[in-house]
Amino acid sequence: MPHWPAAILFDFDGVIVNSEPLHFQAFVKTLADEKIDLGEAEYYRELIGFDDRGAIQHLYKRRGLILEPKTLLNLMTRKSEAMMESIEQKRFEALPGVEELVRGLWRHYPLAICSGALREEIEAMLEGINLRDCFGVIVAAEDVTTGKPDPQGYRLCMKMVSDQIKKPLEPADCLIVEDAPGVIKSVKAAGFRVLGVATTHAAEDLNHADWVVKALQPREVHKQIPRLQVETP
């Protein structure tokens, strides 16, 4: 693969933006009405990588509670409303190094996002950090039938990029940038190569990744993957 990677596929929450605290608070607020407590440690240990549907289903299963379809839909709607309220208050920012790295990559590679967040949330936060123009493809929670950690979203993302650049792509042609251990493990098994980012988990928890960085500082990323064309300040 002399021109590897042919595309770079980014996760969003905890990779591009510091939005996991917003998701946590939105879940806490929503679940409190159902008399369900969610601690910060449990959220970061068990829910990172899930979309809202998967996170709620996981919590109910762990607690041995029956989750009716109507209740699930109601919780997802209320959680989304709480999340958008925080976004409108601009309670988020790009993670360290992200703006420089993305701007340093986008002239060399097709960039895409594959996230378990809703499209409305992703679009609003990308606009808020002035990076919307850098990503030609966005795959959001509503675009897949099975959410993360299943690799379906990344496969769809790869296909959409392939269609856009009019060039066939295989998983090995792509670089995924992820912070969730479960997702990293599943996409590695699907044939993708992965740069793990230790923003929400310790570096040792990302041992299935091909490379691991503490933050997406361009120099740190380039040090790990020297063949990557990235303009470093």
pLDDT digits (tens, 9 = 90+) for 148-180: 999 999 999 999 999 999 999 999 999 999 999
Cα–Cα dist 181/200, whole Å: 10
Cα–Cα dist 25/31, whole Å: 10
Phi, psi of 209 (to 5 degrees): -75, 155
Task: Go through the domains of the chain in sequence order and give each one's CATH number.
Answer: 7-19+93-224 (3.40.50.1000), 20-88 (1.10.150.240)
DSSP, collapsed to helix, strand or coil, labels residue 21 as helix
- Model confidence at 232, pLDDT cuts 50, 70, 90, reads low
Residue 7 has pLDDT above 90, yes or no: yes
Cα–Cα dist 176/178, whole Å: 6
- Model confidence at 123, pLDDT cuts 50, 70, 90, reads very high
State the helix-helix crossing angle for 69-88 and 52-62, rounded to 10 degrees.
130
What is the rounded average pLDDT of the residues 96-118? 95
Residue 233 has pLDDT above 80, yes or no: no
- Model confidence at 186, pLDDT cuts 50, 70, 90, reads very high
For the chain, how long is the longest CA-to-CA vector? 55
Q: Tell me: the pLDDT tens digits for 38-72?
A: 999 999 999 988 999 999 999 999 999 999 999 99
What is the rounded average pLDDT of the residues 191-208? 96
Cα–Cα dist 178/199, whole Å: 10
Cα–Cα dist 199/207, whole Å: 14
- Model confidence at 19, pLDDT cuts 50, 70, 90, reads confident
**Residue count of the chain:** 233
